[in-house]
Structure 1
Amino acid sequence: MDNTSSAKTPDIMDLSAWKQDSPVEREVMGGLGVAASAMFLERSASRTAEFSQESPHLVPAFWDSPLSHGINVFVGLVLCFTMLGLGCTVEVSQLGEHIRRPIGVLLALLCQFVIMPLVAFLLALAFSLDDVAAMAVLLCGCCPGGNLSNIMSLLVHGEMNLSIIMTISSTLLALVLMPLCLWVYSRAWINTPVVSLLPFGAIILTLCSTLIPIGLGVLLRSRYTRVADVVLKASLWSLLVTLVMLFILTGVMLGPDLLSTIPASVYVVAVLMPLCGYAAGFGLAVLFNLPPSSCRSVSLETGCQNVQLCTAILKLAFPPQLMGGMYMFPLLYALFQAAEAGLFILAYRLYRKEVLHKPDPTMDGEDITYQRFHDEDFDSSYGAVTVSDPNTIMLDPCPPDPTPV
Structure 2
Amino acid sequence: MASSPAQASADSLRSHPAFVQFWFARICSGFGFQMLSVAVGWQIYAITGRALDLGLIGLVQFFPSVMLALPAGHVADQFERRRIVMLGQIVDMLAIAVLAAITLMRLTHETMILALVFVIGVAKAFEFPALQSMLPALVPSPILPRAMAASASAGQAAMILGPAVGGLLYVAGPGTVYSVCALLYLVAVVLMARLRYEQAQPRREPATLKTLFAGVHFIRHRPDVLGVISLDLFAVLLGGATALLPIFARDILHTGPWGLGLLRAAPAVGALLMSLWLARHSMERRVGPIMFASVAGFGVATLVFAVSKVLWLSLAALFALGALDMVSMVIRGALVQLDTPDDMRGRVSAVNAIFINTSNQLGEFESGLLAAWVGAVNATVIGGIGTLVVVGLWMAMFPTLRRRQSLRADVPQEPAGAEATL
Question: Normalising to structure 2: TM-score of the pair?
Answer: 0.29
Larger helix percent: 2
Greater Cα radius of gyration, structure 1 or 2: 1
